[in-house]
Amino acid sequence: MMNGKIGLEEHFALEGTLGDSRNFVGADIWTDLRARLLDVQDIRLREMDANGIELMILSLNSPAIQAITDTPMAGETAQRTNDFLAAEIAKNPTRFRGFAALPMQDPDLAARELERCVKDLGFVGALVNGYSQVNSADNAVYYDGKPYWNFWSVVESLDVPFYLHPREPSERKAYEGHPWLVGPAYGFGAETALHALRLIGSGLFDRFEKLNIILGHLGEALPFTLFRIDERIEWSPMGYPAKRKVSEYFRRNFFITTAGNCRTQPFLSSLLEVGASRILFSTDYPFEEIGRASQWFDSLPISESDRQLVGRENATKLFNLSN
């Protein structure tokens, strides 16, 4: 077993956000999942100990803040969540760190909350659950738009990563009659990959070259599509505003995690596509079992130096964690 692992897609919930996760699992699974989402210091810590996980960077469940259409309410809920998380971390600061939940409904409010979380609460970045619903449920706002560029300048100057975590797709027409496709089985990943490509294509990373975006689930399948995306953009008469190839930004501005995708074949493909320095271990607890994710990772057929990079060292460097 590899000791000292660090996980960074590791969720908790508050009573008020629990319901958001309820829809995605059956009643038989929910009782246990609910308890694990609400727990920070007990079951979670025992499973971390049993599986060589030294540190978890915790984040709120999905979509939570992003689905609160009332912007001031989104801001207050994010603040309350972040204060709760800071208090949990303070109980055990060598085992837990935090990602800020952000009211992205208002980019300035989100920037101020991120600044507070990093400077006052010691958080190491933000985790945001995809697009935000602003004023009405059917108004999905994506973060490549110009109103968000000042927010991104704040992220860059704070020098903290932004984890773009999944939520359900904003466009449902294509999913009609197939509710099983909407959630984490498929729709989460498709939605999140699309959002990541919007960020890339907007030219965001030409303007803010040092931004670091993290994607879970082995990059939401993007490592398998880079060649074709690059090739067909070159072919296309449609405008592509960014200066470089999609794959160049993906290797320069993105990190991917193993969260919830414990499969050797796509892991090895991703390793060949982006390299060991761009992949980070995570479990996606409590939606994935810590034991299963850890045993899979610990026995991956990779070099021990790559295992140390992915399991721990990349995170230590990316989040400026001491030791």
Nearer to ligand GRE, 61 or 212 (CB): 61
What span, in angstroms and rounded, lies between the C-alpha atoms of 80 and 74? 10
Region of residue 87 (phi > 0: left; psi between -120 and 50: alpha; otherwise: beta): alpha
**Least distance from Zn ion to the Cβ atom of residue 238, Å:** 32
Residues noted as catalytic: 284
What span, in angstroms and rounded, lies between the C-alpha atoms of 248 and 164? 18
What span, in angstroms and rounded, lies between the C-alpha atoms of 66 and 188? 14
**Least distance from ligand GRE to the Cβ atom of residue 25, Å:** 6
Span interacting with Zn ion, options 63-71, 186-194, 223-231, 277-285, rule CB under 5 A: 277-285
User: H or E element: which one contains 132?
Assistant: strand 132-133
Nearer to Zn ion, 56 or 111 (CB): 56
**Least distance from ligand GRE to the Cβ atom of residue 97, Å:** 18
Nearer to ligand GRE, 22 or 116 (CB): 22
Crossing angle, helix 290-298 and helix 43-50, to 10 degrees? 20
What span, in angstroms and rounded, lies between the C-alpha atoms of 60 and 67? 13
Nearer to Zn ion, 21 or 247 (CB): 21
**Least distance from Zn ion to the Cβ atom of residue 163, Å:** 9
Q: How many residues bind Zn ion (CB under 5 A)?
A: 2
What span, in angstroms and rounded, lies between the C-alpha atoms of 10 and 78? 17
Report the site for Zn ion in 43-102 (rule: CB under 5 A). Answer: none
User: Residues interacting with ligand GRE, by CB under 6 A?
Assistant: 11, 21, 24, 61-62, 166, 184, 260, 284, 287
Nearer to ligand GRE, 1 or 185 (CB): 185
Report the site for Zn ion in 1-30 (rule: CB under 5 A). Answer: 9
Contacts of 162 (CB under 8 A, 6+ apart): 125, 126, 127, 128, 155, 211, 212, 213, 214
- Say which entry of Zn ion, ligand GRE, none residue 61 contacts (CB below 5 to 8 A, set by partner kind): ligand GRE
- Name the residue with the smallest CB distance to Zn ion: 284
What Cα–Cα distance (Å) separates residue 243 from each residue in 23, 47, 106, 202, 233?
41, 45, 28, 10, 12
**Least distance from ligand GRE to the Cβ atom of residue 61, Å:** 6
- Say which entry of Zn ion, ligand GRE, none residue 223 contacts (CB below 5 to 8 A, set by partner kind): none
Tokens of residue 191, six digits: 């939605």
Query: Which of residues 47, 191, 284, 288 is near Zn ion by CB under 5 A?
Result: 284
Q: Residue 190 — φ and ψ, nearest 5°?
A: -60, -45
Chain positions contacting Zn ion, by CB under 5 A:
9, 284
